[in-house]
A and B are shown apart, each in its own frame.
Chain A
């Protein structure tokens, strides 16, 4: 008995620092924040209990609603896109390709750049007049215009003509396009050869896909000429109006800018996925090969299930991370334009440190916490059927 007490005491003494931290730096702020959220907290005075007033204010604060909406939309856009991009890169890297180490280093580099630098660097890239992105976009969209203009009358499309087609060019290009698209396929079907023909077929499929895009572009020019003009060089962080003006809840250009920027840090996730992909036992693939499985089947039934726990872990971390996004909007937009990038963390910071509404900020923080817990539980619940845990 005595020995066990002493044992326990040793144990407690080892975790004592952490116990203090738990109480002082986590438990107290956590519960204290809960108490403060029911208080009016004038600067330099003692807090006064005011019941649910802060929460009532929160229910009717349009800025808070917008801020929560912006954060959720950002999460809904950035998390799936990020997972998709990281997974794609990791799957491509996992194909025993030369230069894997180099690619991995390149993908990882942005993770090393301090957040302040990232924000400033992208602020510069997004600069509407001198920035890199609009230079790229301008060149790209000019090319798109020229190419599309060969086959469609863009001016007429903007005026609203239903079929703005340049028929002569279309008729001339039609047979060429058909030959490009189906010729290789026909040829390989006839000769049943793989190798070079597969590559040509791939190129043909790609060019077919690319050929569809101008049609889409023309349709969009037809319905929103102004917005399509804007696509050539949007004022990334200053334009509030979302690009498809007709779509409600569409993220603004500014929010899209921050989403694009967040994609830049995704390489680190790709490195994580790659490490997990390399842990997948080769025997599984060999067995699948014997069964004649295609690459897609192997990815779908072996690779993805085996790394699903890591994906879930990353998604949960990303959800929590979404509600911590602060530095980027603080430096790049200060929440503007029209609150379109007022992320919740920025809202809390402003309320607490700019406007001194400490009690209100504490209430927002608590609501934020509940939202995070809810979303995390939701992620776990939704993933239950799709995540595979070995040995369970």
Chain B
């Protein structure tokens, strides 16, 4: 490997370097791809261990022809019938309370759905009507001779056979499948959806199932509705606008003072400014909170943007360094022409420091957009939540289970920054290397 950046590498070193870089790149990229892949998955796929990497990223949708129609189906579980105890798909002829049959399709099926709490299950199991199909299993046995389905409690109801499932002669796997519908994606309705036994349930040999890639853009509108996207976006943008304007304007002015104006104690004050960058927010968090509380600002946006209008140590420092690199002759010329300091700042210095201003605006925007602790402390009403808070609230409200919706919302939340990055890549990279510049 050569350090000299103008000498091309021999291919024998180039390939290992590429492999190492690709490995690194994969580590940075894969989580993002996984986020997007999850955001396009149907709910049932986020509640099942992915079998391999391909299905983990591209999903495993299945299609089958049931009753002459090609349907999107969900593979619920493998069915193992035997000659001694075959499996029947039945239509009950007498209605009966579903509570008698604790798990209409066997417990394993319900165990796949950890989201359901007791109330949801109860809501689901109100009543089994004759329109529904029931699958026999260890608990519910069916006697074809008399046409009676024996429930768990011992109660017998009449039932008609829809299908009898025999073990496949060629030893093929049999799957219990149900029709998949787009609305399954909404966790609010999914309890009803999964318990909805009027759907096409069927048992099919594996050869009748066709693998497809099932991507569900429908997750996005559902997720955005759930995190109150429009409202949160407006709140976030409002804060960003206030903070970006405040920080940029105030830092421009203050840095001018530090760079070009003489006053007693300037160096000391600048030293103190640098030192304050060492103070992490948790150290001053409590007194600042108390201050805002006494001002009556807690529960409003003010604590999150007012301080930025008074300058920010880091950006003052950065701008001052930038100013010092500007040609002094221009300033002197402006002064001789009779400009005041404010005029010089406005007409000479500010236009010249556009790159630095763009960088500051970009970084404050990024910081405000990403901020979590600040809004968490100061905002206490849902209507004021920023995107960070809304997303977190949505996650904790559901115990973090509807991953497909969470990831969809998360993708939309990150997207503006990534788009912004591609538009302002130069400013970003220069800014990042500039922040690491000064030791």
A49 contacts partner chain B, Cβ-Cβ < 8 Å: no
- Closest Cβ neighbor of A12 among chain B residues: B263
CB pair B261–A320 under 8 Å, yes or no, is: no
Do residues B257 and A14 form an inter-chain contact, with CB atoms below 8 A? yes
Q: Mark B248-281, 1 if CB is under 8 A from A, else 0.
A: 0010011011100111101001001100101111
Find B6's partner among A92, A96, A274, A275 (CB 8 Å cutoff). Answer: A96
Is B213 interfacial (CB 8 A cutoff)?
no
Would A11 and B266 count as touching, CB distance under 8 A?
yes
* Complex contact A352–B285 (CB within 8 A): yes
Given contacts A130-B49, A271-B433, A313-B438, contact A298 B3 (CB under 8 A): yes
Q: Is A108's CB under 8 angstroms from B279's CB?
A: no
Are A26 and B284 within 8 A (Cβ)? Answer: yes
Minimum CB–CB distance from A391 to chain B (whole Å) comes to: 12
Known: A29-B291, A125-B31, A271-B432. A324 touches B439 (CB 8 A): no
Smallest CB separation, B228 vs chain A (Å):
15
User: Roughly how many angstroms separate A121 CA and B400 CA in the complex, as a whole number?
Assistant: 11
* Shortest Cβ gap from A42 to chain B (Å): 13
CB–CB A21/B436 < 8 A: no
| Size category of the binding interface on chain B | 35 or more
| Contact between B287 and A33, CB atoms less than 8 A apart | yes
Flag if A331 contacts B262 (CB, 8 Å). Answer: no
Docked complex Cα distance between A214 and B425 (Å): 44
B269 pairs with A15, CB closer than 8 A? yes
Interfacial chain B residues near A344, Cβ < 8 Å: 282
Interface: A355 (CB within 8 A): no
- The answer to whether B310 and A21 touch across the interface, beta carbons within 8 angstroms, is yes
Q: Which of B137-145, B154-162, B203-211, B402-410 contacts A (4 or more CB under 8 A)?
A: B402-410
For the complex formed, measure the closest distance between the CB of A44 and the CB atoms of chain B, giving whole angstroms. 10
B242 → chain A, closest Cβ, in Å? 15
- Shortest CB-to-CB span from A202 to chain B, Å, is 6
- Collect the chain B residues with CB atoms within 8 Å of residue A264's CB: 27-28, 31
Stretch at the interface among B61-69, B95-103, B125-133, B368-376: B368-376
Is A267 an interface residue, CB under 8 A from the partner? yes
Mark the stretch among A173-181, A224-232, A357-365 that contacts chain B: A357-365
A381–chain B nearest beta-carbon distance, Å = 15
Within 8 A of B (CB), among A102-126: 103-117, 120-125
283-316 of chain B: CB within 8 A of chain A? 283-291, 307, 309-311, 316
CA distance A106 to B24 in the complex (A): 9
Determine whether the beta carbon of B28 is less than 8 Å from that of A199: no
Q: Is the CB of B406 within 8 A of A21?
A: no
User: Please, how many angstroms separate the alpha-carbon atoms of A307 and B263 in the complex?
Assistant: 35
In contact, B410 and A18 (Cβ under 8 angstroms): no
Contact of B28 among A8, A106, A130, A348 (CB under 8 A): A106
Q: Are the CB atoms of A372 and B435 closer together than 8 Å?
A: no
**Chain A residue contacts of B34, Cβ below 8 A:** 121, 124-125, 132
In the complex, B38 has a CB within 8 A of chain A: yes
Q: Is A63 part of the contact surface with B, judged by Cβ < 8 Å? A: no
Binds A, one of B171-179, B188-196, B387-395: B387-395
Min Cβ gap B344→A in Å is 11
Chain B nearest Cβ from A125, distance in angstroms:
6
Q: Is the CB of B311 within 8 A of A17?
A: yes
From residue A325, how far is it (CB to closest CB) to chain B in Å? 10
Interface hit among B13-21, B82-90, B329-337 = B13-21
Q: Least Cβ distance of A250 to chain B in Å?
A: 23
Binary contact readout B401-425 vs A (1 if CB under 8 angstroms, 0 otherwise): 0010011001001100110010001
* Chain A residues, CB < 8 A from B366: 112
1/0 contact string of A356-380 vs chain B (CB within 8 Å)? 0010011001101100110010000
How would residues 13 to 43 of chain A score, 1 for a CB under 8 Å from any chain B CB and 0 otherwise? Answer: 1110111111011101110110010000000
Tell me the minimal C-beta distance from A170 to chain B in angstroms.
29
The CA-CA distance from A63 to B196 in the complex, in Å, is: 49
Q: Are A313 and B436 in contact (CB under 8 A)?
A: yes
If A286-B4, A298-B3 touch, whether A11 touches B413 (CB-CB below 8 Å) is no
Q: A129-B49, A320-B278 are in contact. Are A113 and B414 (CB under 8 A)?
A: yes
Instruction: State the Cβ distance, A203 to closest chain B Cβ, in Å.
Output: 9
Instruction: Tell whether A249 is near chain B: CB-to-CB under 8 Å.
Output: no
Chain B residues, Cβ within 8 Å of A10: 261, 263, 341
Given contacts A117-B413, A313-B439, contact A365 B282 (CB under 8 A): yes
Per-position 1/0 for A83-108, Cβ under 8 A of B: 00100110011111101000111111
Q: Determine the chain A residues whose CB is within 8 A of the CB of B285 once the complex forms.
A: 29, 348-349, 352, 365
A121: shortest Cβ distance to chain B, in Å? Answer: 5
Collect the chain A residues with CB atoms within 8 Å of residue B328's CB.
none
List of A residues within 8 angstroms of B403 by Cβ: 124, 127, 130
CB of B374 to closest CB in A, whole Å: 11
CA distance A307 to B102 in the complex (A): 68
> Considering only CB atoms, which chain B residue lies closest to A294 in the complex?
B1
Q: Is the CB of A117 within 8 A of B391?
A: yes
Once bound together, how far apart are the Cα atoms of A124 and B41, in whole Å?
A: 14
- On whether the beta carbons of B287 and A36 are closer than 8 Å, the reply is yes
Distance between B335 CB and nearest chain A CB, rounded to angstroms: 12
From A351, which residue of chain B is reached at the shortest CB distance? Answer: B286
> Which residues of the other chain, B, contact A11 by a CB distance below 8 angstroms?
257, 261-263, 266
Q: Please encode chain A, from 247 to 285, with 1 for each CB lying within 8 Å of some chain B CB and 0 for all others.
A: 000000000000000011001110111111010001001
B18 touches A97 (CB 8 A): yes
Say yes or no for B30: interface residue by CB 8 A criterion.
yes
- The answer to whether the Cβ of A240 comes within 8 Å of any Cβ in the partner chain is no
- Please indicate the chain B residues that have their CB under 8 angstroms from the CB of A130 in the complex: 46-50, 403
A271 surroundings in chain B (CB, below 8 A): 429, 432-433
Q: How far is B376's CA from A286's CA once the two chains are assembled, in angstroms?
A: 54
Q: B418: which A residues are within 8 A, CB to CB?
A: 109, 112
**A376 and B5 contact, CB distance less than 8 A:** no
Chain A CB within 10 Å — which of B56, B279, B286 has the most?
B286
For the complex, what is the distance from the CA of A365 to the CA of B283, rounded to whole Å? Answer: 5
Candidate in A25, A195, A272, A324 with the most chain B CB atoms within 10 angstroms = A25
CB distance from B270 to the nearest CB of A (A): 9
Q: A15-B269, A353-B377 are in contact. Are A26 and B429 (CB under 8 A)?
A: no
Tell me if A17 and B28 are in contact (CB < 8 A): no
In the complex, the answer to whether A324 meets B281 with C-beta atoms within 8 Å is yes
Pairwise interchain contact A295-B310, C-beta atoms closer than 8 A: no
Task: Check A116 against B433 for contact (C-beta < 8 Å).
Answer: no
Decide: B417 and A114 in contact? CB cutoff 8 A.
yes
Q: Is B32 positioned at the interface, with any CB of A under 8 Å from its CB?
A: yes
Which A residues touch B338, using CB under 8 A? none
A15 and B282 contact, Cβ closer than 8 Å, known pairs A92-B20, A267-B28: no
- State the CA gap A142–B423 with chains docked (Å): 44
Closest chain-B Cβ to A263's Cβ sits at a distance in Å of 8
The distance from the CB of A60 to the nearest CB of chain B, in whole angstroms, is: 21
Residues of B within 8 A of A298 (CB): 3
Cα distance, A117 to B395, chains bound together (Å)? 10
Q: Does A314 contact B (CB under 8 A)?
A: yes
Q: How far is the CB of A102 from chain B (nearest CB, A)?
A: 8
Q: List 29 A-B contacts (CB under 8 A).
A: A10-B261, A18-B316, A29-B284, A29-B288, A97-B9, A103-B25, A113-B32, A113-B417, A114-B413, A115-B370, A120-B392, A120-B410, A121-B407, A124-B403, A127-B403, A135-B53, A194-B10, A271-B432, A271-B433, A274-B433, A275-B436, A288-B3, A309-B439, A313-B438, A323-B282, A326-B372, A349-B282, A361-B286, A368-B282
Q: Which 4 A-B pairs have the closest CB atoms?
A: A14-B257, A11-B263, A275-B433, A21-B310
